[in-house]
Structure 1
Amino acid sequence: MIDHTSIEEFPPAAWNESHRTVQNVYCDESRVTSDRSDEFMIVGAVMCPADRKRDVVGKIDRLRSFYSVQGEFGWKTVCPSKLPFFEALVNMFFTDPDLRFRCVVVSRTRTDFKDDEERFQKIYYQVFNKWLDVRDEHRVFLDHRVDRRDRVCTLRRCLINTWRFGDAVKFVEEVESRECDLVQLADLLMGAVGYAWNGRDDMEGASEAKRAVCRTVCVNLGIRSLGHYATGPGEWKFNIFHFLGRNNMR
């Protein structure tokens, strides 16, 4: 049985160590440094139990083989010839009960950050805040950055052995996205959210393949459009948080 603590008691007591689940969290960004004409930036992650990683990657490999798709995939590579592969990937995510997704949508004009460094740290913090279960262990993997070597070190200090997360985050490391299918999956899902939130799916000349991927996400969610679709903090499978700075910090 879970020991339900009072709402004032935070962080809650951890599970008995033998009951703790180890979760891998694969993170990426969309439209943050590119597409600056777009209103909304996206930062997010896919979560997968560590003991399921090999199985999930195996599923992706089988889809690659079936659809004859090789190399790195992500939102930028969505095209008509690969559309069945990408639709199958989205459906795989939604039908696998252990995979979860969360992203934070941030307006360029309605939020004010001192600089790119503050933006990076605060938005990533919101990705993890009230999403990571402090009763579990988490291993965080971020797409490798070449612009600021100290950014990940700062993020580690914000996540590891802190009052907010306790000992729930074990390490934060960079990986090469081209070598990590689950970072690429996060990029694909974030790309669909960003495409719709920025209204690109309604623009003249919009990619029909990208529109189709957005529709596949919508069908799985049971909604008409991803544009400005956001969820409550407790949404388990596909969580979208529209971050407005101090006005709605969770």
Structure 2
Amino acid sequence: MYKIYCDESRQTKSEYILVGGIWIKKENGWDFVNDFESYCKNTLEFEKPIGHMKWTKVPPTINNKYYKAYKKIVDLYFDYNSKNIMFFRTLIVNKKDYDFTHDKFYKGDYEEGFYNLYCQLILNWLQKSNEYHIRIAHRSIKKAFDEDCEEFRLSRLKEKLNKKFEDKINKYSWLYGYRKVSPPVISIEAREARDRRLIQIADILMGAVGFFWNKEHLKTNVREGKLALAKHIASNLGRNDLIFITNWDDKRFNIFYFEPSKTIH
């Protein structure tokens, strides 16, 4: 089984929207998730517990006592990634190309359009004979009808992922050698981001990508802490910034640019 922990970064005042996720390799299972939470608790806390870590809370300066906790959790990702345990992927889309409220995108159903981004993020990384449990940061939805709720939207996302995966397998049945497949996505549930360090890692890495793509690093009033952390992430990849796109199967630090004109549904 694979565990996937996801979050969003809508960059409300910027050009690009992002969603991203951390994949935990199936051999490690739930034990790794629990052990990782405990490890973070024991190594990231100082005089008082460090709470909800996310990109918007990166300390303003590198001398801030909590900055090293953010740097350490980034280094944890690259350490686990080098051991083939943990993977990161983020999807980027230009808001001009993908307006959730526009009629051409799911008849203006904002939530359908939003959760489609998670579908696009996850779909191409689903593999036959694997099972997936997905945990997405809890959010308040924009109701399209009275009974609308987050659980309903997550259920729809699960159905969509499984259906699209089955369609893909059937389309390339000549390659896979069979047509019938078991639904790969077993569960999708919401989790409070403040309670899951794995969701927080996804947020921090994704936030750094959005930081560069939205040209925040070029602003005169840029925060020293964010700039240093974003550059630290890039330096781990042998780059000066994170403004690049990877191959779809890149497991080091995957950046996927979504073009809605190629696939609306």
TM-score (norm 1): 0.82
8 Å CA contact 1:91–1:216 kept in 2: the answer is: no
1:190 CA drift (Å): 0.9
Q: What residue in structure 1 maps to residue 22 of structure 2?
A: 46
Identity fraction in percent: 28
Q: Which runs of 5+ in 2 are unaligned?
A: 144-148, 169-180
Q: What aligned pairs does 1:51-70 form with structure 2 within 5 A after superposition?
A: 51-65=31-45, 69-70=49-50
Structure 1: runs of 5 or more not aligned: 1-21
Deviation at 1:68, TM superposition (A): 5.4
Aligned residues: 224
Does 1:230 find its partner at 2:245? yes
1:59-83 CA distances to partner (integer Å, 9 max, x unpaired)? Answer: 3223223585521111111003221
Please name the residue that 1:111 is paired with. 98
Give 1:111's aligned amino acid.
Y
Q: Decide whether aligned partners of structure 1 residues 237 and 135 sit closer, same or farther in structure 2, where only a CA change above 3 A counts.
A: farther
**TM-score, length-normalised on structure 2?**
0.78
Q: Does 1:171 align with 2:171?
A: no
Question: What is the RMSD of the two structures over their aligned residues, measured on CA atoms?
Answer: 2.1
Task: Report SS of the residue matched to 1:45.
Answer: strand
CA distance in 2, matches of 1:86, 1:73: 8
Give the AA of the match of 1:26: Y
2-structure distance, mates of 1:54, 1:188 = 20
The aligned residue for residue 70 of structure 2 is 86
Q: CA separation in 2, counterparts of 1:146 and 1:112?
A: 19
Superposition misfits of 4+ residues, deviation over 4 angstroms: 66-69
State the match for 1:134 in structure 2.
Answer: 128
Q: Take 2:255 and 2:48, find their aligned partners in 1: how far apart are those partners?
A: 32
Q: Aligned ranges for residues 1-250 of structure 1 at < 5 Å?
A: 22-30=1-9, 32=10, 35-49=11-25, 50=29, 51-65=31-45, 69-79=49-59, 80=61, 81=64, 82-96=66-80, 97=83, 98-113=85-100, 114=105, 115=108, 116-147=110-141, 148=143, 149=149, 150-160=152-162, 163=166, 164=168, 166-226=182-242, 228-247=243-262
Q: Which moved more, 1:129-138 or 1:49-58?
A: 49-58
Rounded to whole Å, the distance in 1 between the matches of 2:160 and 2:182 is 11
CA drift of 1:87 comes to 0.9
Give 3-state SS (helix, strand or coil) of 1:65's partner.
coil
